[in-house]
């Protein structure tokens, strides 16, 4: 869930048990309303896949379902222990996202699911991802949509206006606590515009090849998420290494 440095590592270490409960409660958060589409966006294996910032392992388990041989990494040991207990992957490593302990050109697929918002140094992380990605490999990214970060719906009504309250172009740190169905979760990270991510990808020698703004599945979307059928909550990207000349 994070890169392992400074306040972000301390935060996610402190709330690790809360996140495990939150993520493993079926249909509790938005992941469940997008899960099927995420599997389709990632695509089928076979191949060697790396997940950075795996948390308790639910996306690693999805990658396994897609047919990949999965290596799951996270700097928080409690998350790796939880991912191991759930048999989420074939291999595991405790490491930061910008210090991946594998050789160059190791993976056909690298997945960064809702982790780049949590790392302090996105360019360094993507540079390391590019190093371990095979020349014909694919990086799959999910982030909270930068537009969704700068405002909120005015109320819970089905046609509630979305009110922008924060500047879009700034990189700002956020910390937010949510209470939902008896579970509490504290989130921490950085909000920044799409151009920052695009620049970091280009700097790392990675080219965006696909963009998707997914709409939650109508069959599995709770009322609290239905307004996100009108505006994008997540942004998904695929990127490939640029040909070296």
How many residues are recorded in the chain? 245
- What average pLDDT score do residues 14-36 get? 95
How far from 141 is each of 21, 49, 156, 168, 225, CA to CA, in Å? 24, 13, 29, 20, 21
Percentage of the chain surpassing pLDDT 90? Answer: 85
Residue 221: the pLDDT is: 86
- What average pLDDT score do residues 34-63 get? 97
Distance of CA 71 to the CA centre of its chain: 16
Residue 212: the pLDDT is: 98
Beta bridge partner(s), residue 153? 162
Residue 10: the pLDDT is: 87
Is pLDDT above 50 for 61?
A: yes
Percentage of the chain surpassing pLDDT 70? Answer: 97
- The label of the residue with tokens 């939880």 reads 82
- What average pLDDT score do residues 18-46 get? 95
Is 157 exposed, middle or buried, given 0-12, 13-18 or 19+ CB atoms closer than 10 A? exposed
Is pLDDT above 90 for 218?
A: no
CA distance 213 to 233: 8
CA distance 225 to 236: 18
- What average pLDDT score do residues 171-190 get? 92
Residue 3: the pLDDT is: 43
How far from 85 is each of 14, 20, 52, 102, 202, CA to CA, in Å? 20, 12, 18, 23, 37
First vs last C-alpha separation in the chain: 35
Is pLDDT above 70 for 65?
A: yes
Residue 201: the pLDDT is: 98
- What average pLDDT score do residues 142-154 get? 95
Residue 2 binned pLDDT confidence (cut-offs 50, 70, 90): very low
Cis ω on the peptide bond leading into residue 78 (within 30° of 0)?
A: no
Residue 203: the pLDDT is: 98
User: What does the pLDDT look like over 40-50, one tens digit per residue?
Assistant: 999 998 999 99
Lowest mean pLDDT among 1-5, 27-31, 86-90, 134-138: 1-5
SS3 per residue for the chain: CCCCCHHHHHHHHHCHHHHHHHHHCCCCCCHHHHHHHHHHHHCCCCCEEEEECCCCCHHHHHHHHCCCEEEEEECCHHHHHHHHHCCCCCEEEECCCCCCCCCCCCEEEEEEECCCCCCCCHHHHHHHHHHHEEEEEEEEEEEECCCHHHEEECCCCCCCCEEECCCCCCCEEEEEEEEECCEEEEEEEEECCHHHHHHHHHHCCEEEEEEECCCCCHHHCCHHHHHHHCCCCEEEEEEEECCCC
Residue 139 binned pLDDT confidence (cut-offs 50, 70, 90): very high
Residue 4 binned pLDDT confidence (cut-offs 50, 70, 90): very low
Is pLDDT above 50 for 74?
A: yes
Residue 144: the pLDDT is: 97
Inter-residue contact 28 to 22 (CB < 8 Å) = yes
Residue 156: the pLDDT is: 84
């Amino acid at each position: 869930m994070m890169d392992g440095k400074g306040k972000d590592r301390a935060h996610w270490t402190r709330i690790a048990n809360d996140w495990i409960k939150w993520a493993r409660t079926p249909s509790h958060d938005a992941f469940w309303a997008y899960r099927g589409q995420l599997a389709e966006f990632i695509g089928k294996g076979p191949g060697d896949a790396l997940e950075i910032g795996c948390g308790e392992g639910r996306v690693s388990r999805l990658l396994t379902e897609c047919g990949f041989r999965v290596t799951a990494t996270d700097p928080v040991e409690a998350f790796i222990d939880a991912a191991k207990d759930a048999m989420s992957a074939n291999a595991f490593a405790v490491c930061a996202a910008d210090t991946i302990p594998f050789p160059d050109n190791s993976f056909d697929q690298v997945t960064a699911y809702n982790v780049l918002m949590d790392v302090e140094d996105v360019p360094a992380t993507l540079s390391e991802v590019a190093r371990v990605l095979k020349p014909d490999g694919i990086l799959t990214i999910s982030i909270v949509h930068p537009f969704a970060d700068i405002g909120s719906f005015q109320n819970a009504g089905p046609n509630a206006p979305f009110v922008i309250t924060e500047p879009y172009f700034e990189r700002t740190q956020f910390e937010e606590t949510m209470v939902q169905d008896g579970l509490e979760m504290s989130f921490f990270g950085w909000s920044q515009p799409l151009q920052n991510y695009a620049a970091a990808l280009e700097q790392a020698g990675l080219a965006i090849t696909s963009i998707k703004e997914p709409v939650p599945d109508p069959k599995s979307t709770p009322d609290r998420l239905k307004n996100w059928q009108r505006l994008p909550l997540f942004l998904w990207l695929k990127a490939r290494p640029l040909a070296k000349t």
